[in-house]
Amino acid sequence: MRGMQRFAPQIVHISAERIREELVRILSEGGARYGFELLDRAGLLAHILPELKACQGVQQPPEFHPEGDVWQHILLMLDSMKQPSRTLAWGVLLHDIGKPPTFRVAERIRFDGHAEVGTEMARNRLTQLKASNEDIERVGSLVANHMRFKDVPNMRVSTLKRFLRIPHFEEHLELHRLDCLASNGRTDVYEFVRSKLAELKAEQLRPPRLLTGDDLIQAGYSPGPAFKRVIESAETAQLEGEIDTREQALALARQILQEDGQVVQSSKA
C-alpha cells in the first residue's frame, strides 16, 4: 500500500484502455465498493477519476439523503449492485459527479442542473478512457435521465410512454432503484413504473405512426421545419388516446399547419 501511495501519480502514464478495463473489472466482478475504497486509500482515485474524488465531503440535503455526502451515497450504490452490466456500473459510479460543481445553498442544499453537468462530465471522462461510442451514449443517457424519475407521477401519459421506451430502460430503472435504496429508501416510483411496464403492451408504448412526412407531402404541404412538430403532435395525441386513425392525424396536422399560416401547395389535399 505504501508503494502504491508513493507511485500513485505515475498511474497517468498507463494506457487509458488498460485503466478502463481494470476499472470495469472492479465495477462488475463483485466487491465494487471495496475496490473503490482501496483505489482511494492507495491515492489512485484522485489521478484516474478526479471528478469522483471531488464528491468526498460534498454534503447533501439530509431530508433526501440521510446517508451522508455524495461519496458515501455512491459507495452505498456500488455495494448494492448485483452483477451489473458494464454500462449500468459506469452509470452508478458517475451519475452524481455533477453535484460538486453545482453545489449551492439556498433555503436548503441544492444541485441545480447536476444531471446535465454530470452528463457532459461523464461523457468526457469515458472519452478520455477510450470507451466505445455505444458505451458513452448509454452511460450518458443514464446520467442525463436519472433525475426524471421524480417527475414520473405527474407526467402526461404521452410523456410517460416516451420515457418508458428509452433504449435499455431496464438499466435506467435499476439505477433508480439503487439510487433510492442508497438514499431515503423510498421505492414507490420504482414500483409504479414496474406496474406501468407490466400494464402497457409494446404496441401501446410504441404504436405504428399514424402520420409521416410523406403523408403531409401527399396532402399538398411543402416540406419544412414544421413537419417534425406536426408529426410529434400527432404522435402525442395518439399516445394520449385522443386519436387512432390516419384521417384524425391528418385533420390535426391541417389544423396545426393552418394556425401556422401554411397553405396547401397542390390539389392533392
- Between 13-27, 137-151, 216-230, 253-267, the lowest mean confidence (pLDDT) is in 253-267
Q: How far apart are CA 45 and CA 51, in angstroms?
A: 9
**Is the pLDDT assigned to residue 269 strictly greater than 90?**
no
Backbone angles phi, psi at 193, to 5 degrees: -65, -45
The pLDDT value recorded for residue 264 is 64
Please report which confidence band the pLDDT of residue 185 belongs to, taking 50, 70 and 90 as the band edges.
very high
Evaluate whether 58 touches 103 at the Cβ level (below 8 Å): yes
Of 213, 208, 233, the residue nearest 156 (C-alpha): 233
Degrees to nearest 5, angle at CA 168 with 201 and 183:
105
pLDDT at 268 over 50: no
Q: How far apart are CA 32 and CA 88, in angstroms?
A: 13
pLDDT at 260: 74
Inter-residue contact 102 to 112 (CB < 8 Å): yes
Q: What is the mean pLDDT of the chain?
A: 95
Q: What is the mean pLDDT of residues 33-54?
A: 98
Cell numbers for 139, please give them.
452511460
Q: How many residues does the chain have?
A: 269
Look at residue 215 and tell me whether its pLDDT is greater than 60: yes
Predicted local distance difference test score (pLDDT) of residue 36: 98
Contact 33, 71 (CB under 8 A): no
- The mean pLDDT of 140-161, rounded to a whole number, is 97
Q: What band does 267 get if pLDDT is binned at 50, 70 and 90?
A: very low
What pLDDT is attached to residue 235? 97
| Percent over 70 (pLDDT), the chain | 97
For the residues 63-77, what does the mean pLDDT come to?
Answer: 96
- Residue 104: which H helix or E strand, with range? strand 104-105
| 104: β partners | 110
Cα(8)–Cα(4) distance, integer angstroms = 5
Query: DSSP label at 221?
Result: P
What would the mean pLDDT of 118-124 be, rounded to a whole number? Answer: 98
- What average pLDDT score do residues 207-231 get? 93
Q: Is a pLDDT exceeding 60 seen at residue 37?
A: yes
Say whether pLDDT at 265 is over 70.
no
Q: What is the pLDDT of residue 242?
A: 97
The pTM score is 0.92
